[in-house]
Amino acid sequence: MLKFAAYRALLSLLVGILGYQTLASRSLLAQSLTQAQITQQSCAPTNGLPLNKNHIELRGAALGFSLDSNTMGRAFQNFALDSVGKIENTTWFPSRVREIATSTSSTIHRGIVPDAVGAIEVIVVNSQGQITQRDYYGLSSFHEAKFTTGTIYLSSFAHQIIGYIDVAKNSSAGRAPIALGGLRPTPVVFFLTPSNATIAASVIITATNDRVAVYQRIACDAPSTPSTTDMIMGSAVLLNSQVYAGSFPPFVIPSGRVAGLR
């Protein structure tokens, strides 16, 4: 479960600084982090080297995995969820936006099955450290492991990505009313990827317009353990900080734990 903790003064300051973003400035901010910067920020806390898709396939081969996309995709998903401490989700979430986007395709997709789902808890404390507000929003953070390379667009994976944004937008956090000081919670989508997978600017801008935060976590090696097959999901890097305008401040998600392909 994700938790926000903030002081009233800080909340007011953030609203004052971030409350007047335009679409043009959002577009600029969406591209303000290069993939190299995202990778460095994600892996730096553990001093691990970022791992691209080929690096991970070599580890898979060393473990005896078949290198076909289905086998390695499943093995990477298992590693990613183990590392971030999430249980695999099997619940289907409807998405009208994805249904419309695939309506002319041979297969119509009416929703998504996120790899993992979590809740968001908002905890507000005053300057004396006393809790003044505590709210819980279930099924409002979504995790998707993608063992891929190149750019991930809204239309990627049969428009699955736009389905993620739609589901997050309509989650309990996404539909929550404005609360303390005109603030509200923000639903979240996490992408867990190799280092050479990039989230398209169009994904970030669309998510920002729909008030959905997008984070990316990069697979890194685990220098603290001797096994060459061990890996770790790096820290979560926020790709659209401007989405928190008028919202509770963003949270910091540290690196995961050491895990491996399975």
Region 157-171: mean pLDDT is: 98
pLDDT tens, position by position, 179-193: 766 788 999 999 999
pTM score over 0.85? yes
pLDDT tens, position by position, 212-260: 999 999 999 998 876 767 999 999 999 999 999 888 878 778 899 999 9
Helix axes 53-62, 69-84, angle to 10 degrees: 100
Split at pLDDT 50, 70, 90, the class of 159 is very high
What mean pLDDT value characterizes the chain? 87
Of the candidate ranges 1-10, 199-208, 224-233, 251-260, the one whose mean pLDDT is the lowest? 1-10
**Burial annotation 231-242 (CB, 10 A radius, 16+ → b, else e):** bbbbbbbbbbbb
pLDDT at 120 over 60: yes
Q: What's the confidence (pLDDT) of residue 30?
A: 42
Q: For the chain, what are the domain ranges?
A: 2-244
DSSP 121-167: EEEEE-TTS-EEEEEEEEEEEEEEE----EEEPTTHHHHHHHHHHHH
Q: What's the confidence (pLDDT) of residue 180?
A: 61
pLDDT at 86 over 50: yes
Q: What percent of the chain has pLDDT over 70?
A: 87
Region 139-166: mean pLDDT is: 98
Q: What's the confidence (pLDDT) of residue 7?
A: 34
Q: Are 124 and 131 in contact (CB under 8 A)?
A: yes
